[in-house]
Structure 1
Amino acid sequence: MAIKTLSQAPEDNPSQTVRALLRLREMILDGELPAGERISEPVVAELTGISRTPIRTALVRLQEEGLLDPIRSGGFKVKSFSLDEICDAIEVRGTLEGLAARLAAERGVAPELIDALRACTRDIDAALDASTELSDERFTAYVEANARYHALLEQACASEVVQRQLERCKALPFASPNAFLRVQAVSPDALLTLQIANAQHCAVIEALAAREGSRAEALMREHTRIARRNLETTLANPHIKALVPGASLIVTR
C-alpha cells in the first residue's frame, strides 16, 4: 500500500522564507527598519503579510548575513556599522580574493575559463566606451560583467573552502564587489576609475595564464582598494550616500 505524504504547510514553504528574506533585507537596506530598531515577529508579519514561521527563519538568515544583532531578552535588532567594520569587511574580501587568485594561478586555470574571464573584460570595455556618455543601460552592463568576472575568479581557484568563505564575506553589507559601484558611476572621474579597475582585471588574467601566483594575489588585493576609496567618497558626500543601499546603517563619529 502506498504511503501518503503530508503536503507542506503554507508557512513552511521555502518560497515563503525566500520572500520573507528578500522583503526584510529590502526594508533594512532601504531604511524602513533603521539601525537599532527592534525586530518583532508579529509586527513584521503584519507589515509584510507573511506568516511568522518563514519570518523567524529569515531573521536567523539575516543575522548570519550580519544585518541583525541578537538581543539577550530574545529577538533581534537592526545592526549599525562603523567605518572600521566596513573597512575590515572590504579587507577580508580582498584577502580572500587574493588567495583565490593565487591558488588559481598555482594550480592552473583551464583555457576555457581564461577565455571566459577575458570575455568579461571585453564586455566591460564595450560598456565603458569613452566615445559616449555612461548611460544607465551601459552601467548595468558593466555591473553584470563585473559580477561575472568575480564569480569566475572564485570558480578558478578550485577550492570549495575559499569559495564558501568568499560567499559569506560578500554577504556582509558593503563588502561585495558591486557594493559601491553606483558611487563610482556619479563621481567626476567615474569613467577613468572604472577603466583602471578593468585594467587590473586584465592584469590578473595575464598573471593567471602565466601561473604567477604572488603577482595575481597582489593585483587582486590592490583591486579591492578601489572599494575603500569609494567608501570615503560616499561618506564625504550626503547626496552620493543616498545611492548606496544600506548607507543609513553606517554610523560615523
Structure 2
Amino acid sequence: MRLALGLCYDGHGYQGWQSQASGRTVQDKLEAALSAFTNQPMTTLCAGRTDAGVHGLMQVVHLDTELSRDAFSWVRGTNRFLPRDIAVHWAQEVPPEFHARASAIGRRYSYMLLESPVRPSLDAHRVGWVFRPLDGEAMRLAAAELIGEHDFTSFRASACQALSPVKQLRRIDITRHGAYWRFDFEASAFLHHMIRNIMGCLVAVGQGSQSPAWMREVLQARNRDAAAPTFAPDGLYFLGPVYDQKWGLPERTSAYDWLP
C-alpha cells in the first residue's frame, strides 16, 4: 500500500528537511516516529525539501507499507512520537503510481516579513525583518520581471542540485497586513535558495537601493554575483505542492490560517 501524509512543522530547530547524520532534520524525526508507531523501519519521500529554518504548512510525503491502518490511526499514532513542533495533519491511501515529488505540477511558498524599527520578539524565527520602510509598488514592478519561464541561475545557490536552472515562475503576489508584508510565490519548481535570493533583491528594490528595472538585469545576467545576498530563512513557509485533482488530496491544512 502507498500512503500519503500531510504534515506541518516549525523549521527553526532543524537542519532542514533532508535526513542527515546528526538526526536533527524533519525527515529524521518523522521517520523515527513512523518507525516507533509501526515497529518497523520506515522511509519517506517528500514533495519539496526545505532548508534549515524554513517552515512547512503542508509538506506531503509518501511511503510504502504492508500494514493496514485507518487514516485516523496513522495521524494520531505518528503524532504520538513526534516532537511538539511537527505534526501530521492528514493521511490518505493513494494509488501506487502516485509520487509525492514527481506527481507535483507546482509548488507554493509564502514569505512573511516584518517592517519595524524594532526586531521581532514573539514572532522571532517566524518572520523575516527589515527596519527601513518598503515601497510595495516598486517591489511589485520588480517581481513582474520574473514571471514566466526563465533561466534563474542568478537566484540559484552554488550547492543547487537541480538538473536545469530553467523554471516557470507563475505568480508573485505582494500584500501588506499592518506591519507585516506577505510575499506569495508559485512555480513549477524552485531552485535551492531561489526564493530567499529573490527576496533579497525585492527588499533592495523596496528600500530604494535598486530600481525595479534592475531585477531584469539580474535575471538576464545568469550570474549569482549579480543578485543581492541571500535573505534570512526565518519567514519562509512551504505551503505545499500542487497536484492534479485526480489524486483527491487535500489542498491545505488548518495551519494555513496562521498566516494573515
TM-score for the superposition, normalised by structure 1: 0.29
Kindly indicate which of the two structures has a greater share of residues assigned to strand: 2
TM-score for the superposition, normalised by structure 2: 0.28
Kindly indicate which of the two structures has a greater share of residues assigned to helix: 1
Which has the greater radius of gyration?
1
